Amino acid sequence: DTGVSQNPRHKITKRGQNVTFRCDPISEHNRLYWYRQTLGQGPEFLTYFQNEAQLEKSRLLSDRFSAERPKGSFSTLEIQRTEQGDSAMYLCASSLQRQPQHFGDGTRLSIL
Amino acid sequence: QKEVEQNSGPLSVPEGAIASLNCTYSDRGSQSFFWYRQYSGKSPELIMFIYSNGDKEDGRFTAQLNKASQYVSLLIRDSQPSDSATYLCAVENTGTASKLTFGTGTRLQVTL
């Protein structure tokens, strides 16, 4: 059990650029979640995968956001045409069914 | 009304004392409750979870759940300076996603 791995740890980009983050869940965890956290707030749910199927997306997830989990293993979260308001910590979590979620170290996104 | 409410603190307790952290939630259908610890600049770390009314103890930590009052608490006995962090209360919503709804967190400061 090597834990949830997220890359990159930090991403600095100019407004309008596209960015992609990767999450490798704990092996054998079939559930994978993406959350976003801004300063002074708790994490907010973005989207959820069970195996390769994306089963739920938050209203927070605008059309500029897309997530995939090909083959039910790692997941990617892409943000197109980044905006200042996208600056946040993007957290990935994984779990087995009916088990607590474990978080990765997160990717901190800064938009210049 | 926020779905999960916590006092933002800071809650200051002397070393060796008991720290009591509280959380209320609005969704009566919530079934699972979690406490995560988050150090500044780090990701949330699971420390306790509770599913049934009553108390659950793990080392220096005790989680208490009262579903009738929609109230969850975390007690930390023999508080240590290393316990200084933000404690996030999370509630698992009913439905297939099992997504977590977080409070804004309570900042705990353990003083020497």
Q: CA-to-CA distance for A101 and B47, rounded, in angstroms?
A: 11
**pLDDT tens profile B45-72:** 999 999 988 999 999 999 999 999 999 9
pLDDT per residue rounded down to tens, chain A (112 residues): 579 999 999 999 999 999 999 999 999 999 999 999 999 999 999 999 999 999 999 988 889 999 999 988 999 999 999 999 999 999 999 999 889 999 999 999 999 9
Q: CA-to-CA distance for A68 and A76, rounded, in angstroms?
A: 5
| Nearest-CA distance A18 → chain B (Å) | 24
Cβ contact A95–B98 (<8 Å): yes
Q: CA-to-CA distance for A44 and B48, rounded, in angstroms?
A: 20
Looking up tokens 């959820």 gives: A48
Note the Cα A81 to chain centre separation in Å: 17
B22 pairs with which residues across the strands?
B73
A103 pairs with which residues across the strands?
A93
Q: What is the chain A residue with the closest CA to B107?
A: A40
| Nearest-CA distance A91 → chain B (Å) | 8
Strands A65-68 and B54-58: unpaired
Residues of A in contact with B36 (CB under 8 A): 103
pLDDT at B98: 81
CB A99 within 8 A of CB A26: no
* pLDDT tier for residue B29 given thresholds of 50, 70 and 90: confident
* DSSP designation for B81: G
Nearest CB to B46; choose among A89, A97, A102? A102
Residues, chain B:
112
Note the Cα A108 to chain centre separation in Å: 11
Looking up tokens 């989680």 gives: B63
